[in-house]
Chain A
Amino acid sequence: MNELLKVTNLKTYFYTLAGTVQAVRGIDFSLNKGEALGIVGESGCGKTVTGLSIMRLISFPPGKIVDGRIEFNNTNILNLNEKEITTIRGDKISMIFQDPMSSLNPVLTIGDQMMEPLIVHKNYSTSKAWNRALELLDLVKIKGGSNMLKRYPHEFSGGMRQRVMIAMALSCVPQIIIADEPTTSLDVTVQAQILELLKDIRGKIETSIILITHNLAVVAGLCDRVLVFYAGKIVEEAFIDDLYSSPLHPYTVGLLKAVPRLNISSEEKLKTIPGLPPDLISPPNGCSFHPRCDYAMKICAREEPPFFNFNNSRRTACWLYYGKRDLNS
Chain B
Amino acid sequence: MEKEILTVKNLKKYFYFYSGSFFKKKKIAIKAVDNVNFSINKGETLGVVGETGCGKTTLGRTIVKLYEPDNGEIILKGINITKLNDLEMKPIRKIIQMIFQDPYLSLDARMTAGEIIAEPMKIHKLYENEKELNDRVNELLGLVGLNEEHKIRYPHEFSGGQRQRIGIARSLAVNPEIIICDEPVSALDVSIQAQIINLFEDLQEKFGLTYIFISHDLSMVKHISTKVAVMYLGKIIELADSLDLYKNPIHPYTKALISAVPLPDPKLERKRKRIILPKDIGEESSISAGCRFIGRCNISKEICKETEPPLIDKGCSHFVACHLL
Contact = CB atoms under 8 A, between A and B. Distances in A.
B191 to A, nearest CB: 4
Given A217-B261, A218-B262, A220-B263, A157 B280 contact: yes
**Which bucket holds chain B's interface residue count?**
35 or more
Contacts of B266: 220-221, 240-241, 244
A217 B194 CA distance: 16
A190 B191 CA distance: 25
A265 B221 CA distance: 12
B216 A259 contact: no
B189 A43 contact: yes
Interface string A12-47: 000000000000000000000000000000110000
A258 B190 contact: yes
A188 interface: yes
Contact of B260 (A191, A255, A271, A276): A191
A14 to B, nearest CB: 19
B219 A262 contact: yes
Most buried by A among B198, B218, B269: B269
Most buried by B among A214, A254, A269: A269
**Which bucket holds chain A's interface residue count?**
35 or more
A256 interface: yes
Given A258-B190, A272-B191, A263 B268 contact: yes
Contacts of A260: 197, 219-220, 222-223
Q: Is the interface of A mostly helix, strand, loop or mixed?
A: helix
B191 A261 contact: no
Given A157-B283, A265-B222, A217 B195 contact: no
Contact of A258 (B194, B270, B280, B283): B194
Contacts of A262: 218-219, 222, 246, 258, 261, 263
Given A158-B280, A265-B243, A189 B260 contact: yes
A241 B262 contact: no
Contacts of A195: 262
A216 interface: yes
Interface string A184-203: 00011111110110000000
B194 A259 contact: yes
A119 interface: no
A182 interface: no
A244 B267 CA distance: 9
B262 A220 contact: yes
A90 interface: no
Nearest to A241: B266
B51 A187 contact: yes
A215 interface: yes
A263 B51 CA distance: 20
A120 interface: no
Interface string B270-292: 10001011001111000000000
B92 interface: no
A157 B284 CA distance: 11
Contacts of B283: 157
Nearest to A263: B263
A193 B222 CA distance: 23
A273 interface: yes
A99 B219 CA distance: 23
B269 A221 contact: yes
Contacts of B269: 217, 220-221
B161 interface: yes
A196 B274 contact: yes
A293 interface: no
B264 interface: yes
A108 interface: no
Interface in B229-277: 243, 246, 256-270, 274, 276-277
A305 interface: no
Given A188-B216, A188-B261, A192-B276, A273 B51 contact: no
A52 interface: no
A187 B269 CA distance: 19
A42 B190 contact: yes
A291 B225 CA distance: 32
Contacts of B198: 269-270, 272
B201 interface: yes
B281 A187 contact: yes
B106 interface: no
B7 interface: no
Interface string A158-174: 11100000000000000
Nearest to A42: B189
A42 B192 CA distance: 10
A245 B266 CA distance: 9
Given A189-B256, A196-B274, A270 B263 contact: no
B191 A254 contact: yes
B264 A220 contact: yes
Interface in A244-292: 244-245, 254-256, 258-263, 265, 269-274, 276-277
Interface in B182-198: 189-195, 197-198
Contacts of B219: 259-262
B11 to A, nearest CB: 23
Contacts of B261: 188, 217, 262
Given A217-B263, A241-B266, A273 B191 contact: yes
A188 B261 CA distance: 6
13 contacts: A188-B260, A189-B260, A189-B277, A241-B267, A244-B264, A244-B267, A255-B191, A260-B219, A269-B201, A270-B194, A273-B195, A277-B189, A277-B191
Given A270-B223, A276-B161, 19 more contacts: A42-B191, A157-B282, A158-B280, A158-B282, A187-B281, A188-B218, A188-B261, A189-B257, A189-B260, A196-B274, A214-B190, A240-B266, A244-B265, A244-B266, A256-B264, A259-B190, A260-B220, A263-B265, A265-B222
What are the nearest 4 A-B pairs in CB distance? A260-B223, A192-B260, A217-B262, A258-B194
